[in-house]
Amino acid sequence: DTGVSQDPRHKITKRGQNVTFRCDPISEHNRLYWYRQTLGQGPEFLTYFQNEAQLEKSRLLSDRFSAERPKGSFSTLEIQRTEQGDSAMYLCASSLARLAGASTDTQYFGPGTRLTVL
């Protein structure tokens, strides 16, 4: 069990640029989550995948944000036309749901990608 990994760990970009983050979940975990955390706040939910299907998106996820999990393994989160308000820590978590509708899985978090938009 190598844990959830995220790449890059830090990203500095200029306003208006596009950025893409990657998340590799714990092997065989079928659920994958993205959260965003700003200074002094707890993580806020962005979106969630069960295998390759994106099943829930937060209203925080504007149309500039897109997430994919094409083969049900790693996931990418892309932000287009970045704004200074996008500066935050982007966290990925994964969990193993033994049944399709299971609600007792535990989310394990990665180290996050810290985005700074200048």
Candidate residues 7, 20, 44, 73; the one interacting with other proteins per rule CB under 8 A: 44
Residue 12 beta carbon to other proteins: minimum distance, rounded to whole angstroms: 19
Query: What is the β-pairing status of strands 65-68 and 5-7?
Result: unpaired
| Shorter beta-carbon distance to other proteins: residue 84 or 104 | 104
- Contact region with other proteins (CB under 8 A), list: 14-22, 40-48, 66-74, 79-87: 40-48
Q: State how far the alpha carbon of 84 is from the alpha carbons of 12, 15, 114, in Å.
A: 11, 6, 13
Query: Which one, of 69, 68, 92, 105, lies nearest residue 4 by Cα?
Result: 92
Does 108 help bind other proteins (rule: CB under 8 A)?
A: yes
Query: Which one, of 35, 73, 24, lies nearest residue 51 by Cα?
Result: 73
Contact status, residue 110 vs residue 6, Cβ threshold 8 Å: yes
- Contact region with other proteins (CB under 8 A), list: 11-19, 33-41, 66-74, 77-85: 33-41
Rounded to whole angstroms, how far apart are CA atoms 62 and 54?
Answer: 15
Residue 13 beta carbon to other proteins: minimum distance, rounded to whole angstroms: 22
Does 2 help bind other proteins (rule: CB under 8 A)?
A: no
- Contact region with other proteins (CB under 8 A), list: 14-22, 68-76, 77-85, 100-108: 100-108
